[in-house]
A and B are shown apart, each in its own frame.
Chain A
Amino acid sequence: MANKVKINVTVNGTQYEREVEPRLLLSDFIRKDLGLTGTHVGCEHGLCGACTILMNGQAVRSCTHFAVMADGADIKTVESLGTMDNLHPIQEAFMEKHALQCGFCTPGFLMTAVEYLEGNPNPTDEEAREAIDGNFCRCTGYENIVEAVKLAAKKMADH
């Protein structure tokens, strides 16, 4: 058995100290060890973007990281965005524009859009499409997601 490694990570503002096997994927650590099942696991090899989280403020795929690589990192998952009573502007925009059907891919889109909109507050259609090119949605055909990203930008500017 491989050596276990002690890690310290901050997830959504809470600090966790855990001992993990090196091969434990960050996505599985977030879901199973921490019980934060908002992060969805799709392809598990870096294609679909469903497991996107923020690591030190940058959007990354949690399935292409081992939990040990997140030692010392500040992580934000979809649970950090809003609550049922107080949605994040991006969540509101996705709801208003019907940007989801089954919802499986949505957490990844939201976390990708959060990072993007912080640096690009006023995206064109083209830019909004490019921003989400690393995320798969198998239901919507993307049109409403693009609309939602643009609406979210507006909402965040007015916020």
Chain B
Amino acid sequence: MKPAPFDYYAPTTVAEAVEKLAELGYAGKVLAGGQSLIPAMNFRMARPGALVDLGKIKELAYIKPQADGSVAIGTMTRDTAVEEDEFIRKNFPIVAETVSYIAHKQIRNRGSFGGAIAHADPAAQIPALAVLLDAKLKVLSTDGERWEDAVDFIIGPFMTTLEPQELLAEVVIPPLPANCGCSYQQVSRQKGGYAQAAAIAKVVMDGDKVKDAQVVLFSVGETPIRTEQPNKVLAGMVPSTELIESVAEYVGANECDPGTDLHGTEEYRRNLVKVLVRRALLDAIERAKK
């Protein structure tokens, strides 16, 4: 066994969980699906003094359509459950599509939707998706609940506004507008591997013209990056290939911050961003027209 010793608690209700987190303070760490945390603990890169395992809290795993067309996803809903959910596939196809790119089936069977956001890995799909779709996050503690937008919640690589005594309990995704199309694009060394660069686009059309064009990048900076150029240039315009090409060019050059590592140079990744933004926008526009 390789992880350092820790104390283990497995509450069965949310109330018990937040009480335990309050008691443990900085020594405590939430264990959700464990598919990122446990590898980090195996390497002893993470050495929490105590784990509060959410695995036995049934009230944290659900997918609930709301009256206003949004969907509430409990933090412990496993990725596979999200990917295969009929309501999600019909009303939020980009969510199922994006989740299908996470690692491999064995990991999606256990990885949790909310856990991925709380972990805030800059190379992870769900935090970027949450930013793109303006997800609202419900955070619980013994002091009660607070709500925060995903874009404000993620503040750095593996860093969120979550305090040690707090628990991310629910993710609410607002309904997609009419005439909206989304697209997920990535390049990775192998299927299921971390993306070297990735882009998710959401485009709303008004006839032939773009009403709103949002692109979030990830794996090319310290957090998911909500780009500005696509909407600045495309809103109100008929999206010609020249315009899209110029947007993609700009985003690759100015709106990402990729590093160089053994899988690729900064220059290569900027070029990937350019290609992926173009593909994502073209595909999203095509889907929005259907």
**Complex Cα spacing A58 to B42, Å:** 23
Q: Is A45 an interface residue (CB 8 A)?
A: yes
* Interface residue stretch chosen among B98-106, B200-208, B213-221, B249-257: B98-106
Nearest residue (CB) in B for A44 is: B42
Q: Is B109 an interface residue (CB 8 A)?
A: yes
Tell whether, in the assembled complex, residue B5 and residue A116 are in contact, meaning their CB atoms are under 8 Å apart. Answer: no
Q: How many residues of A contact B (CB 8 A)?
A: 35
Check A69/B53 contact, CB under 8 A, given A112-B105, A134-B105.
Answer: yes
Kindly provide the distance from the CB of B168 to the nearest chain A CB, expressed in whole angstroms.
19
Residues of B within 8 A of A153 (CB): none
Nearest residue (CB) in A for B38 is: A64
Work out how many contacts link A and B, with CB atoms closer than 8 A: 98
Q: Is A65 an interface residue (CB 8 A)?
A: yes
Nearest residue (CB) in A for B43 is: A45
Instruction: Give the contacts of A104-140 with B (CB-CB under 8 A).
Output: 112, 115-116, 130-131, 133-134
Nearest residue (CB) in B for A32 is: B1
Tell whether, in the assembled complex, residue A60 and residue B109 are in contact, meaning their CB atoms are under 8 Å apart. Answer: yes
Tell whether, in the assembled complex, residue A134 and residue B5 are in contact, meaning their CB atoms are under 8 Å apart. Answer: no
Q: Is A89 an interface residue (CB 8 A)?
A: no
**Contact string against A for B residues 4-17, beta-carbon threshold 8 Å, 1 for contact and 0 otherwise:** 11111010000000
Tell whether, in the assembled complex, residue B3 and residue A23 are in contact, meaning their CB atoms are under 8 Å apart. Answer: yes
Instruction: Give the contacts of B134-179 with A (CB-CB under 8 A).
Output: none
Tell whether, in the assembled complex, residue A22 and residue B7 are in contact, meaning their CB atoms are under 8 Å apart. Answer: yes
Q: Is B24 an interface residue (CB 8 A)?
A: no
A45 partner, pick from B1, B6, B39, B110, beta carbons under 8 A: B39
**Contact string against A for B residues 92-135, beta-carbon threshold 8 Å, 1 for contact and 0 otherwise:** 00000000000111110110000000000000000000000000
Nearest residue (CB) in A for B78 is: A58
Tell whether, in the assembled complex, residue B5 and residue A112 are in contact, meaning their CB atoms are under 8 Å apart. Answer: no
Kindly provide the distance from the CB of B22 to the nearest chain A CB, expressed in whole angstroms.
19
Tell whether, in the assembled complex, residue A23 and residue B109 are in contact, meaning their CB atoms are under 8 Å apart. Answer: no
**Contact string against A for B residues 66-86, beta-carbon threshold 8 Å, 1 for contact and 0 otherwise:** 000000000000001000000
Tell whether, in the assembled complex, residue B42 and residue A45 are in contact, meaning their CB atoms are under 8 Å apart. Answer: yes
Nearest residue (CB) in A for B55 is: A69
Q: Which of B1, B6, B51, B103: most chain A CB closer than 10 A?
A: B1
Nearest residue (CB) in B for A111 is: B106
Tell whether, in the assembled complex, residue B35 and residue A64 are in contact, meaning their CB atoms are under 8 Å apart. Answer: yes
**Contact string against A for B residues 40-68, beta-carbon threshold 8 Å, 1 for contact and 0 otherwise:** 01110000000101011000000000000
Residues of A within 8 A of B103 (CB): 46, 134
Check A46/B35 contact, CB under 8 A, given A59-B109, A68-B53, A134-B106.
Answer: yes
Check A5/B105 contact, CB under 8 A, given A46-B38, A69-B53.
Answer: no
Instruction: Give the contacts of A56-87 with B (CB-CB under 8 A).
Output: 58-61, 63-66, 68-69, 71-72
Nearest residue (CB) in B for A26 is: B38
Kindly provide the distance from the CB of B105 to the nearest chain A CB, expressed in whole angstroms.
6
Known pairs A2-B5, A28-B1, A64-B35; list 8 more (Cβ under 8 Å).
A22-B5, A25-B1, A61-B110, A64-B38, A64-B110, A112-B106, A133-B191, A134-B107
A-B CB proximity, top 9 nearest? A134-B104, A22-B8, A45-B39, A2-B5, A58-B109, A23-B3, A64-B38, A133-B191, A59-B106
Contact sample, A vs B, 12 pairs, CB 8 Å cutoff: A1-B5, A23-B4, A23-B41, A25-B2, A25-B42, A28-B1, A44-B2, A46-B35, A59-B105, A66-B34, A71-B10, A115-B105
Q: B residues within 8 Å of A by Cβ? A: 1-8, 10, 31, 34-35, 38-39, 41-43, 51, 53, 55-56, 80, 103-107, 109-110, 190-192
